Structure 1
Amino acid sequence: YRPHPMMKAMLESAPAYDKDPNGSGPFGFTETNPIPVNGPIGQLAYLSRLETQSGQRILFHRLGAIDKVDVFEAVTFDGSGWFIFFVDLYHPRRSRLTPDGFRFTKDVAQFSGPRGCPRG
């Protein structure tokens, strides 16, 4: 993946932080305190690594955007939890923090869904 030159310039000029120091509201759950990530692939990599504190992985899709902040809807694999995440993709790296109630999975099967799925 090679970002468009304009996207690359924005990513390189943006601040590298885990959380916006001027953000307000719950981290990742409001447009005024979005999760900083590095481009569209960074969004997928970050969100695919999230799981709830009880170990439930999530399925997600993009709903749209509010200015420069993308909005994602997510649901746990078992359907017990539903969330809206706000993600700012114009940063040089992905945040190392997770929204309240979440952690990063140790499972390396990113993007491929749960283990044990038959291969086509």
Structure 2
Amino acid sequence: MDLWEAFRQSDKNRTRTEQMYDDAFALCNSPALQNETLAPAERTAVENGLPCDRLPEGTGPFGTAATNPIPVNGSFGEWMYLSRLRILATGSKVFFHKWKTDGVVDAFEVINRSGTLRTVLYFSPRHPYASRYCPEGYILEREAVFPRGITTYSSCFPRGLYKEIKKEARRRLGIEVAEEESKYIEAEIKQ
């Protein structure tokens, strides 16, 4: 029995819905479980990657320079890292979508609910776990609870983000969950 099967063993006193949410919460907060869900090629690259919180060869500001990306465990690690990120000054949650991939670095457009922050963060997705550090001006929550963005590109970001988050959650977690605040992002799309 692998780790995922052991994880799925349910307590008979719990409802199916309660167990699904508990399973999803555990998956969101366990790099080992996350890595098991990755496609074979991505999983191999992640598991054979350098375990680190910062890339030894990184130059420039951590996370905000493509030359110093945040190490994470694949696309699942990107999704959960960003879903735990908050703005240090206000404690505001951030919302995101994948803006582009350049070689082995993924760039995510990040926005807060009011639209006063709109920036790009860079990730190196071939590591066995996500960094415990965050870019200057941000903090990380201890646990991920609800996803706040998507790991694909959205041409109308942030419009329709809530529905897109629920689709990705359904695919990755088996349940449709999303950060409720993502329904109310007031930012205008730059034309």
TM-score by length of 2: 0.57
1:114 deviates by 4.2
In structure 2, the residue matched to 1:18 is 53
Structure 2: distance between partners of 1:22 and 1:70: 17
Structure 1: distance between partners of 2:143 and 2:57: 32
Q: Which has the higher contact order (CA 8 A, sep 6+)?
A: 1
- Does 2:92 correspond to 1:56? yes
From 36, 44, 52, give the equivalent of 2:71.
Answer: 36
**Structure 1 unpaired stretches of 5+:** none
- What SS does the corresponding residue of 2:43 show, helix, strand or coil? helix
Report which of the two has the higher share of strand. 1
Structure 2: distance between partners of 1:33 and 1:108: 24
1:78 deviates by 1.8
1:108 deviates by 5.0
Structure 2: distance between partners of 1:43 and 1:74: 12
- Does 2:103 correspond to 1:67? yes
- Does 2:21 correspond to 1:8? no
Query: Are the counterparts in 2 of residues 56 and 78 from structure 1 also a CA contact under 8 Å?
Result: no
- Does 2:80 correspond to 1:45? yes
Q: Deviations over 1:34-57 (max 9, x none)?
A: 011001111100001000012011
AA aligned to 2:44 is A
Query: Are the counterparts in 1 of residues 73 and 125 from structure 2 also a CA contact under 8 Å?
Result: yes
Percentage of matched positions with identical amino acids: 32
Structure with higher Rg: it is 2
1:90 deviates by 0.8
AA aligned to 1:63 is W
Report which of the two has the higher share of helix. 2
In structure 1, the residue matched to 2:138 is 102
1:9 deviates by 1.6
1:107 deviates by 7.0
Structure 2: distance between partners of 1:108 and 1:38: 15
Structure 1: distance between partners of 2:60 and 2:67: 7
